[in-house]
Chains A and B, each alone.
Chain A
């Protein structure tokens, strides 16, 4: 369940290459010497996929051991490089969020950029670390997980309530026996008291 990279690109259509607007990579699990080549690879594959994603479409492409999820919205394209276990829906909701955030913070200025921008965008880096766990990204998954946990807790509660019911049953039995015994005791005591008043 790992995100390796998140990219935001500007896709000007089928003609020219997409332009990278923001970039966040997590290559810590590669060796030191592989990191730059991995970065190049990610940038290249990202450009290719983004250029092939039509407007207003979502797409998931399998490349070696990564899945690349791309979402193109009005020429602004967000990509995510995830491994196979990351659920698709959370991936796309994450991309949605990234695009919304980008549009909120940068407005429409990105339409004019022609060269790859190299300034890091802190939100993207934060998002990369925060959303390594798919439950964070996808509210639905979080809700589902919490509901399942609640259900488990409720099952346990019901089991303990059933046990309590059994104990209460045995208590009822014992208390009724006790009341019968005490009644016998009372009668006996009255009987022994009655007979010796004459003497």
Chain B
């Protein structure tokens, strides 16, 4: 806000002074005294408007910076060390800032309305203040939109991580999670992806699925950490029970995966069936078109054949043609000669 305007108030003031001196030499002496007072008061209120506007602009700038940092965090979060808490904090902070800025902006607008109602503001001043308000509102809306985009990107990230975690939980639990196995089944078919994208995941619902695979991971890590401590019997007894759970849990998850795979397969089969049905209809249309064109061609062929026959076998036609020619010749000769 502060970058795009030049403060020419001093010039304006000197100009008014000179104009007054030129135009109203007989102007009452108290007017210049009032004028600075009123202009001071009006400039005071006006500069209060300006001050508020500049503060709001600064707030918006800071908030957009925070949103940019949030976007960076959301983009760079990998599967295993994502700064969940920090992101949540930052998002909450940004939301608070935005609501505060919203209320401040509405206050500013109220002030502007009040000032316009009570004082006899020039048109320029009202235009200027409305322009300032609109600019601030536009900037705030841009910032909120940016925040929305960042949040959607974050939820998509969480979903992708969730998918990858599910895939890794199917295979060996001891595999290095950072190895990206070339599993061809990870390419999601477009229809299932669209059905996934249609569910509107808020970021809060992104948190519990993040907690569940984290719990899985924790159990797996517990299983790995259990092993080296075989010397102490006490700790051994304590750790055996979660191991038992781990076995059952892993069986349960494996069964769930199998079940979901089977349902996916059934969906794929239904899709296949619909597509083949549609294409069957296409085939019928092609067939009809071909029949129609065959009939047309047959009809045209037969008529041409008749034509040919008529022309080639009609001797009487020749006699008729020659008769007409000779007739014309005779009439021609008759008229000339």
Contacts and interface: CB of A to CB of B under 8 A. Distances in A.
Contacts of A53: 240
A189 interface: yes
Majority DSSP secondary structure for residues of B touching A: helix
B261 interface: yes
A61 interface: yes
Contacts of B215: none
Contacts of B189: 155, 158
Contacts of B250: 88-89
B84 interface: no
A38 interface: no
Interface residues of A, number: 58
Contact of A140 (B243, B258, B283, B317): B258
Given A60-B243, A179-B296, A154 B303 contact: no
A189 B303 contact: yes
A59 B244 CA distance: 8
Interface stretch (A21-29, A104-112, A124-132, A160-168): A160-168
B304 interface: yes
Interface in B206-228: 223-224, 226-228
Given A88-B173, A151-B268, A58 B317 contact: no
Contacts of B271: 158
B240 A57 contact: yes
Given A52-B230, A165-B275, A151 B173 contact: no
Interface of B: 170-175, 183-185, 187, 189, 223-224, 226-228, 230, 233, 236-237, 240, 243-244, 246-247, 250-251, 254-255, 257-258, 261-262, 264-265, 268-269, 271-272, 275-276, 278-279, 282-283, 285-286, 289-290, 292-294, 296-297, 299-301, 303-304, 306-307, 310-311, 317, 320-321
27 contacts: A59-B243, A67-B227, A87-B173, A144-B257, A147-B262, A151-B261, A154-B269, A154-B272, A158-B275, A161-B275, A162-B275, A165-B279, A165-B282, A168-B286, A169-B282, A172-B282, A175-B290, A175-B293, A179-B289, A179-B292, A179-B296, A182-B296, A183-B293, A189-B301, A192-B307, A193-B306, A199-B317
